[in-house]
A = this chain, B = another copy of it.
């Protein structure tokens, strides 16, 4: 089994105008930098993007926003991005805000064949409008539906030709659940290793969820909030 594709451009082949894509990452941490660059090159438009955040003006999904390639964002938090704000206020960009835990669980559910589930998150808020409410253990819950996508673009630390993935630190975040929920899942990795190099007991995401894999390059890994203490 060999899921390796030659380049980021090959990896995103088949993403068409108007499709729904999931993009892994939290803030700028663990985002598929090479896939995003390939999408900019491809110029595909009218995308619905499911991603926890929307990048910053000149990095991450912000690069797609600059080129007006995104029609709709489905996210939990979209601050720190002026172009996003401009497009949203002007009505060019549709935005669907979802509680972060519901977003994660809805992606997992989409990948796991669970079409809907009850969660307490958002009950009594505008998020619950139009949604079924049911009490369990004396506490009201709302019914949330699974999310899936035509393509999921994720970033891992290491991967093998079988599509098995290992993530590093908090760059894991939404990547595994989105990989589960993509009809076609593309994984870019910092290091592509030989079959057998990854310990089967310590694989974060089994390759069964990944259809295409390639080694990315030139990772910038920009830090949004560099916070440090001095050694004194």
Q: Show the binding face of A for B, using Cβ within 8 Å.
A: 105, 109, 112-120, 134, 136-137, 141, 145, 167-169, 201-202
Interface secondary structure of A, over-half rule:
mixed
Contact of A201 among B109, B137, B168 (CB under 8 A): B168
Q: Let me know if A115 and B118 touch, CB within 8 A.
A: yes
Contact of A117 among B118, B169, B201 (CB under 8 A): B118
With contacts A168-B201, A169-B201, A201-B168 known, is A119 near B113, CB below 8 A? yes
| Interchain nearest-CB distance for A30 vs B (Å) | 13
Q: Let me know if A116 and B118 touch, CB within 8 A.
A: yes
* Residue numbers in B under 8 Å from A105 (CB-CB): 112, 114
* Residue numbers in B under 8 Å from A118 (CB-CB): 114-117
Docked Cα-Cα span, A169 to B137, in Å, equals: 36
Contact of A116 among B113, B117, B167 (CB under 8 A): B117
